[in-house]
Amino acid sequence: MRALRRRAGPTRTAAAQAAGMDRSFHKEVEAAVHSVPVDRIPALAKALGVQPELLQDHDEE
């Protein structure tokens, strides 16, 4: 997910805010410590400019 964010351009803070997540939690999602909460996938996908399915695929890796 980190690579997707970097390609899309938003900072970790901006991506976290767009998805309604705390920045520290978003950092742990990027580090694969936590999964993206299902209810946050659409907003995070929009912030990253990708289809929600793409995040779900990355979440399972």
Give the tens place of pLDDT for each residue, 27-39. Answer: 998 898 988 888 9
C-alpha torsion angle, residues 51, 24, 3, 53 (rounded to 10) = -20
pLDDT of 42 reads: 92
The model's pTM is: 0.73
Question: From CA 38, how far away is CA 3, in angstroms rounded?
Answer: 20
Question: From CA 41, how far away is CA 50, in angstroms rounded?
Answer: 10
Predicted confidence band at 57 (pLDDT cuts at 50, 70, 90)?
low
| Percent of the chain at pLDDT exceeding 70 | 92
